[in-house]
Amino acid sequence: MDSPQNKLYLSLKKGHTLGPEHHRFRLTAKVGENATGMLWQAEDLSTKRPFPVTLHFIHPKLLRQKGYVDELKKQISFTKSLNFKHIAKIYGYFIQKGGLFFIATEQLDGLTLAELLKSGKSDKLKPAQKKGLLMQLGLALDTGYRSLRRAHGALAPDQIYINRQGGIKLTGFCSRSGGEIISPLLNPPLQYPVYQSPEAFHPGNLTFRADIYSYAAVAYHLLSGKAPFSANDSESDRVSHELSAPESLAENQWQGLLKGFETRPDDRHISATELCKALFQPEPETAEEPDNEKASKDDEQTPDEDSTLEESPKQSLKEKLGSKIPLPPMKWLIPPLLFLVGIAVGFWLGFMVSDQRVSGLNEHLTKMQQGSIELQSALAAEQRGHEQLKQQYASLKEQFEKQQLAAEQAIQRENAEMKDNLTAFRDELTSGFFGPDMVILPKGQFRMGDLNGQGDDNELPVRTVTIPKPFALSRYEVTFEQYDRFADATGRQRPADEGWGRGKQPVINISWQEANAFTEWLAAETGQPYRLPTEAEWEYASRASTESAFWWGNELRRDKAVCDECGGEFAGQQPAPVGSTPANPWGIHDMNGNVDEWVQDCYLDSYEGAATDASAVDIPNCRHRVMRGGSWFDIGRLIRSASRYRHPANRSRNTWGFRVALELPASQVKETQ
């Protein structure tokens, strides 16, 4: 039986008005369907005059896939800021009463490059039109990366829309994570696996060089008429497969395209526009051509990046695909430019040699000198007043610094009194090394969840949680130095460090299963019951008796955390060595940002009915575990103390790490209470 969401989804029709009360849309025409839902043309009724938009309704079966809506929201929050004519503008997401989820974008005609390739109509495009299309796509990719500092990650023809006016509109930035969640449910599937790079077969965030590979694959498909790979081709297939050059390319152009397919990311072009230039570089001249051939080539000028596939309102796309869009030769601009330059130079020379103007200029300079003397006198008087102000300012500054010092000393005394109840220690391993630095945290109560109205539904309802007894938490995130010792002792492969270094760097590329295995090994080595912290313990430690979004307040601070919007040398680039930012009031570092941290709990969509004793949620055969804290890669909202999200327990990424907790012996608990 159809769910209410399905019925509502299938009942959409022209003239329907929908959306939240503060932002209404009216459907005007159905555009069509794609892998994730359907597209409708609509009018935005919240503006002074109805404004044309396209609404993308997500199929209800996908909304029921855990974590997908969270990924959609993250994707939209990342990409709403993109503002470029060849990137589809996203206005936001909306939830219709009844559960429909839809995304509003600038108006899209509905035709994608995927449909153009599948139908064979792409073969009718002139070489100049193909070049213009690829130029627009390259500019969109490069612009998106410069703005987001993130790879597109899912580039494929089904993400490239072609409008009759305005050329291509690229969509799908940062959509790969969501695509991985719903891929088993899609028919037809998303196309990005066909065009993805060899490194995309491994877990972890992709660099922009992965987009260069995908861009080369799309270009190859457009120029040759066939995709370079299939969705079933493995990483080794892509590395070993030898592509045949498209007939339209000269040897030097083919070599330019092949550089985009290099196996090592660093060997590829540094940008999509660089690849495009290499792809369409002129052929080497072997002999002078007859004048009539040169003339014919001059007539075939390359269109600029805005002219491709645009058509007048009276001209159909079908007609456009068979037509040619010449651009006026640039050499026509040279004579008028030289003429204008000549006028400007002549005017300047005439001005300089005119006796009358020189005389007037001297008179004007004399007046300026007189005015300068008067001004200097006024400045001297002002300087005397300024010296008096400086003395007053110095006195006030001295008073302020004394007050500030007194306030800081009071805070230090308060922190010292609080930390009298906290104890730090390290357990020795059987190998003679030591385990992580641990801090004993007191028992207590706190309010858990979105206390500031900045979070998502999975942070609700807010509830009071009791920490029934003291426990210990590692002062820092587990480092490569510590994890490598475990990996070597147990015969495991060391995780990749992405070239960022090991030692005191927080360990990354860690799955929940691997993090849990580390705690079991640590428990066996020390004879103490080490484990991952529960979700409630983690938030209790992160808040450290605060109720603000972050332990230091409600606003991001450049010097307090490592995240994409936090500023500093590591922001959006890589994690910082552990302890690079200040500890929270309980002496714990990097709870907000740096690397995401696995906790014990199995993920639930909300706190409805959740326990209030800080115990972990444990469900048999749990597939998705909770992750907390946000990372160097994330926006500020995602590193809040209340922010939570879920990931498959067997997956790993270069933003994922963990820290450890410890059950305290009864004797030690009594001592700390």
The CATH number for 162's domain is 1.10.510.10
- pLDDT confidence bin for 299, thresholds 50/70/90: very low
Is pLDDT above 80 for 182? Answer: yes
* pLDDT of 302: 40
Q: Is the predicted pLDDT of residue 186 greater than 50, yes or no?
A: yes
Higher pLDDT, residue 655 or 346: 655
Residue 520 lies in a domain: yes
Q: Is 618 domain-assigned?
A: yes
Task: For residues 657 and 605, state if they share a domain.
Answer: yes
Task: Mark which of 71, 105, 139 sits at the end of a domain.
Answer: 105
Highest mean pLDDT range out of 76-80, 174-178, 416-420? 174-178
Banded pLDDT at 314 (limits 50, 70, 90): very low
41 in the same domain as 142 = no
What pLDDT is stored for residue 44 in this prediction? 92
Give pLDDT, residue 289. 47
pLDDT at 628: 98
- Burial code (b: 16+ CB inside 10 Å, e: under 16) for 615-627 equals bbbeeeeeebbbb
Dump pLDDT digits (tens) for 121-163.
999 999 989 999 999 999 999 999 988 888 999 999 999 999 9
**pLDDT band, residue 490 (cuts 50/70/90):** very high
Instruction: Report whether 528 contacts 501 (CB < 8 A).
Output: no
Cα separation, 449 vs 100, whole angstroms: 25
49 and 162 belong to one structural domain? no
Q: Would you state the pLDDT for residue 666?
A: 62
> Is pLDDT of 321 > 50?
no
Task: Tally the domains of the chain.
Answer: 3
CATH number of the CATH domain containing 14:
3.30.200.20
Are 178 and 162 contacting, i.e. CB atoms less than 8 angstroms apart? no
Same domain, 178 and 86: no
pLDDT of residue 419: 39
Show which of 284, 315, 330 is a domain's final residue: 284
More confident residue, 460 or 363: 460
What is the model's pLDDT at position 371?
53
Instruction: Output 598 or 621, whichever has higher pLDDT.
Output: 598
Confidence of residue 55 (pLDDT cuts 50, 70, 90): very high
73-77, 218-222, 271-275: range with lowest mean pLDDT:
73-77
Query: Is 139 found in the same domain as 79?
Result: no
State the pLDDT confidence band at 240, using cuts at 50, 70 and 90: confident
Whether residue 402 lies inside any domain: the answer is no
List the domain range (segments joined by +) for residue 464: 424-672
Q: Which of 601, 600, 583, 605 is nearest to 592 (CA)?
A: 583
- Average pLDDT value for the chain: 83
* Strand ranges of the sheet holding 624-628, from the earlier edge strand across to the other edge: 644-648, 624-628, 596-602, 656-658
User: Is residue 558 included in any domain, yes or no?
Assistant: yes
For residues 361-372, give the mean pLDDT: 50
**In the sheet that 90-95 helps form, which strands lie side by side, from edge to edge?**
17-18, 25-34, 37-44, 51-58, 101-105, 90-95
Binned at pLDDT 50, 70 and 90, residue 353 comes out as very low
pLDDT for 395: 64
pLDDT at 287 over 80: no
Percent with pLDDT over 70 in the chain: 78
Work out the angle at residue 375's Cα, subtended by the Cα atoms of residues 370 and 376, and round it to the nearest 5 degrees: 100
Q: Is the pLDDT of residue 614 over 70?
A: yes
Q: What whole-number distance in Å separates Cα of residue 507 and Cα of residue 489?
A: 16
Winning range, highest mean pLDDT, from 16-25, 183-192, 659-668? 183-192
| pLDDT interval class at 285 (50, 70, 90) | low
pLDDT at 659 exceeding the cut of 90: yes
Same domain, 175 and 94: no
Whether 635 is in a domain gets the answer yes
* Structure-model confidence comparison of residues 312 and 440, the more confident one: 440
What confidence score (pLDDT) does residue 664 get? Answer: 87
- CATH number (domain holding residue 474): 3.90.1580.10
The predicted pLDDT at position 81 comes to 83
Which tokens sit at 383? Answer: 């300087």
Q: Say yes or no: 39 and 122 in one domain.
A: no
Residues 51 and 118 in one domain: no
| 175 and 97 part of one domain | no
Which pLDDT value is given to residue 219?
Answer: 97
585: cis peptide before it, omega within 30°? no
Do 444 and 557 fall into the same domain?
yes
Confidence label for 252 from pLDDT (cuts 50, 70 and 90): very high
pLDDT at 362: 47
- Does residue 411 lie in a domain region? no
Helices (H), 121-279: 127-148, 176-182, 192-195, 208-224, 235-240, 251-258, 272-279
Residue 34 maps to a domain: yes
Q: How far is CA 149 from the centre of its chain?
A: 7
Q: Is the pLDDT of residue 312 over 70?
A: no
Question: DSSP of 345-357, one letter per residue?
Answer: HHHHHHHHH-HHH
Q: Sign of the C-alpha dihedral, residues 377, 378, 381, 387?
A: negative
- For the segment 438-449, the average pLDDT, to the nearest whole number, is 95
Q: Are residues 135 and 255 in the same domain?
A: yes
Are 222 and 79 found together in one domain?
A: no
Region 266-289: what's the mean pLDDT?
83
CA gap 62, 519 in Å, rounded: 35
Domain boundary among 284, 312, 337: 284
Domain membership flag for residue 409: no
- Reply yes or no on whether the pLDDT at 420 is more than 50: no
pLDDT tens, 66-119?
999 989 998 998 888 898 999 999 998 998 877 899 999 999 999 999 999 999
